[in-house]
Amino acid sequence: MVTFLLPLVMFPFAVLPAVSGPMSQTGASAESRQSAVASGPGANVEAASAEMQGLLRAMSGRWAIDLKFEPSAEMPSGAQGKGEELWKPLANGLVLSDEEKIQLQQGTVHLLGLIWWDRASKEFRGMECINQNPHSCDVKASASQDVSIKWDGKQLTIEQPQGSADGKKGLWHETFSEITPTSFLQVGETWEPGGQHRKVVTVHGSRIPE
């Protein structure tokens, strides 16, 4: 959920963007993955919907992350950082949380992302909390459905509107792809009016053994 980092390094559903890849979750790897989820923190997922179950299996766990921000007007030399993400089910699998601590040259980022399945609208919903937000949590964005979250069984996509310096409305597009039991690739992009897009950040995640 790297969108959360933008206020710190450049100016929210991280979270926090298009890269695709297979999720290796067959045979012994799948069993190991399911076992890790079943034995991890908040492992009871009886309340998880069918839509949530695959996402819980794919992302639950503790990950070490390496971030690389591309050069930009705000950061001519780009930037790099390191941190950790802890993804875990809450309320018996009703909610998936992503708690992050990221160290950049500009400062330390503390954030919490929440994802859940809305049975009424039949869509994923999300909310962000971050130390860069004066209100801490962005409840309004979730209520107004500004944050769009998609999970197709292999790739998690997060999108939300994004303003620009000239007042035009663009889009933040973020994907988690190439998800395996031990790693994932996360890419964040800005999509400008007219179809132009620019890569902002690349994140490599590596599972931290329990």
- Helix, coil or strand: residue 39: helix
pTM summary value:
0.77
Domain boundaries, the chain: 3-207
Say what the alpha-carbon torsion angle 152, 156, 159, 164 is, to the nearest 10 degrees: -140
Superfamily of domain 3-207: Calycin beta-barrel core domain (2.40.128.20)
For the cut 70, the answer to whether the pLDDT of residue 11 exceeds it is: no
Please, are residues 65 and 58 in contact by the beta-carbon 8 Å criterion?
no
The amino acid present at 113, given as its one-letter code, is: G
What mean pLDDT value characterizes the chain?
79
DSSP state of 55: H
- Highest mean pLDDT range out of 16-25, 27-36, 105-114? 105-114
Q: Report the range of poorest mean pLDDT among 15-24, 87-96, 111-120.
A: 15-24
Cα torsion 46, 48, 50, 54: sign: negative
For the cut 90, the answer to whether the pLDDT of residue 114 exceeds it is: yes
Q: Region 128-146: what's the mean pLDDT?
A: 79
Determine the pLDDT at residue 87. 97
